[in-house]
Amino acid sequence: MSAQSLDYRELVEPFRGELQAHCYRMLGSLQDAEDALQETLTNAWRALPRFEGRSSLRSWLYRIATNVCLKVIERRPRRVLPLDYGPAADPHDAPAEPLVESVWVEPYPDSVLGPEAGYEQRESVELAFIAALQLLPPGQRAVLILRDVLGFSGSEVADVLETTPAAVYSSLQRAHKTVAERLPERSQQATLRALGDERLGALVERYVRAWQEGDVDAVVALLTEDATVTMPPRPTWFRGRTVVRDFLREYPLAGDTRSLLVRAGINGQLAFGHYFAEGENFVPHGIAVLTLRGDRIEDITTFLEPDLFGPLGLPLSVRRAA
């Protein structure tokens, strides 16, 4: 093994997890983030002999990762959630077909952040924050993430983006205004902490039992009056308890469909892998990420992408009990 290989492993590898999270915040996609991370690490490997230490290693790596992400953004459409894509649907209409193009924000596993991840790190991958970031121009997005999430100084951000501190400050002010208009008053981290383990546990138990027993009214009883249900990659979404009740009765909870829910750590939020019975097994259906308002659910975003179960650490099938 060459000296450069040893230097690279010792210096760069410890930053892998946080660099991937940075790419996810920039791009809103787990797969895009992984691809951007690999390109970042390759570029860092090639450039390491030229690293002169004029900036910190961390800011140097973030400069590479940010530039990789900005190039990705140039060549693909902005990622959104269904609420930003079109109007709410009638519950009696069949859900629209999934869109072929990759336009959707994707879920992100908490495991990448690590058990030592703090409150702010988990808050910065919540779905509402990630979706709001994607609405920002790329430069503003990078400034807000580097300054507010990662804690770089204004001069460090200017160095990463090869601009001036004054330009950084101006971009940050505009980014703050846009994001503030989109985010709820309380983050999911704050909501979960306020609920406490006992009340959260009771909510989880009621939600899981309602789905697994196919009890539409029990599911709806847990929702806020203005609750939304979205299902990317399908653009169809619904708003309001009555509308959601009609949709559940007509589609996912119609007939004798049997469900299994497995708790998951995704986007720093309450989340589940959702399985439907098929033969002798439960097979992946969707990844449900819940947004809470107090002790009620104000949004269920179910990513209907079974291919994401493996990357998110969920089992690919579960044997049905005899």
Q: Which of residues 115 and 33 earns the better pLDDT score?
A: 33
Q: Which of residues 9 and 150 earns the better pLDDT score?
A: 150
Does residue 116 surpass a pLDDT of 70?
Answer: no
Whole-number average pLDDT of the chain: 92
Does residue 311 surpass a pLDDT of 60?
Answer: yes
> Is residue 318 within 8 Å of residue 288, measured between CB atoms?
no
Stretch 129-136: mean pLDDT: 96
What pLDDT does 193 receive? 95
Q: How far apart (Å, rounded) are the C-alpha atoms in residues 81 and 132? A: 10
pLDDT tens digits for range 224-243: 999 999 999 999 999 999 99
What pLDDT does 114 receive? 72
Does residue 208 surpass a pLDDT of 50?
Answer: yes
Domains of the chain with bracketed CATH: 1-76 (1.10.1740.10), 188-319 (3.10.450.50)
Residue 123 CB contacts under 8 Å (≥ 6 apart), including other chains: 129, 187, 188, 189, 268
Q: How far apart (Å, rounded) are the C-alpha atoms in residues 5 and 143? A: 32
Stretch 140-144: mean pLDDT: 97
Amino acid at 40: T
What pLDDT does 278 receive? 92
Tokens 């196919």 map to which residue?
214
- Single pTM value for the model: 0.93
pLDDT tens digits for range 157-180: 999 999 999 999 999 999 999 999
Confidence tier at 77 by pLDDT (50, 70, 90)? confident
What pLDDT does 5 receive? 56
What pLDDT does 322 receive? 62
What pLDDT does 1 receive? 39
Confidence tier at 100 by pLDDT (50, 70, 90)? confident
Tokens 């009638």 map to which residue?
90
Does residue 119 surpass a pLDDT of 90?
Answer: no
Distances (CA, A) of 206 to 108, 175, 209, 215, 217: 25, 39, 5, 10, 12
What pLDDT does 3 receive? 41
Q: Which of residues 100 and 180 earns the better pLDDT score?
A: 180
Does residue 303 surpass a pLDDT of 70?
Answer: yes
> Is residue 224 within 8 Å of residue 74, measured between CB atoms?
no
Confidence tier at 308 by pLDDT (50, 70, 90)? very high
pLDDT tens digits for range 262-284: 999 999 999 999 999 999 999 99
pLDDT tens digits for range 33-56: 999 999 999 999 898 888 877 778
pLDDT more than 90, % of the chain: 78
What pLDDT does 283 receive? 96
Stretch 244-262: mean pLDDT: 91
